[in-house]
Chain A
Amino acid sequence: MSAQNFACLLYRLFLLLHPADFRRRFGDEMLWIFDMSSREGQTAYMLYDGVRSVFMQHARFDLQEEPADAFCLEVQTSGLTFARVGQATVLGGALLLALASVIAREMPPASVFNQKTTCQQSDELEPQANLETRQ
């Protein structure tokens, strides 16, 4: 899977996390704009905007809900629905996945870790032998 496809998949995921009404109304257009903007090299900004939009939409959705009759210090658990927890889990997972893919790209190859050279051993090795192990 290319980086572009992965980014597109991630953006679709972010779209899924938007409130259903907003998604039905603007989802296709947002995806189209993501495709157009990605061709101009703005993929990272589009992903950032997608995440920000998810939070903005849900924050607004929460504010629009009628406040419960409760004291100020009472914890309102009604807003923490199963769907909300699921969405947060998926969003967190997607972000972790993106982070992992970035880290994996930066990591050195596995062969580097397979070399059993400790500090003590490397001191004992002759310079010529040390070169051989690197090759």
Chain B
Amino acid sequence: MKLSSTNPPLSAAALHILLALADEDLHGYGIIQKAARQSQKQYRLGPGTLYDNLKKLMDLGLVVDSPGSLNSEDEKRLYRLTSEGRAILSAELDRLKNVLREAELTVRPRRPKRI
């Protein structure tokens, strides 16, 4: 996936998955728990939604299987954010910051006009 300014916004699930993997490799359940923590338990990610989005992110090359976890059968598969995934996440966070800035300017109460 090429990084450009015209990238479509990430879905909430994709954003939470990339955000959860930003600082460590995690297995599926770890991603679900971390996404819940990040959103103060406001956003619940089910396994179906998780792996549906994870598959799309892996197909796009934004997330890969952690190399170590593929060798051992006992341990769960860990997922890792690629450098491209990190760049997409960073671009999305910048986009959200801009949205917030615009929103704050729009929503801020106006001063009453002096007559």
- Greatest chain A CB density within 10 A among B29, B46, B47 is at B47
For residues 19 through 59 of chain B, which have their beta carbon under 8 Å from a beta carbon of chain A? Answer: 27-29, 32, 44, 46-52, 54-55
CB < 8 Å: which of B27, B29, B46, B76 contacts A49? B46
Q: Are B55 and A56 in contact (CB under 8 A)?
A: no
**A84 contacts the other chain (Cβ, under 8 Å)?**
no
Number of A-B contacts defined by CB within 8 Å:
57
Q: How many residues belonging to B are interface residues under a CB distance threshold of 8 Å? A: 16
**B77 contacts the other chain (Cβ, under 8 Å)?**
yes
B residues in contact with A46, CB < 8 Å: 46-47
Binding site secondary structure of chain B: helix
Q: How many residues belonging to A are interface residues under a CB distance threshold of 8 Å? A: 21
Q: What are 7 A-B residue pairs whose CB atoms fall within 8 Å in the complex? A: A22-B51, A29-B28, A30-B48, A46-B46, A46-B47, A48-B46, A53-B51
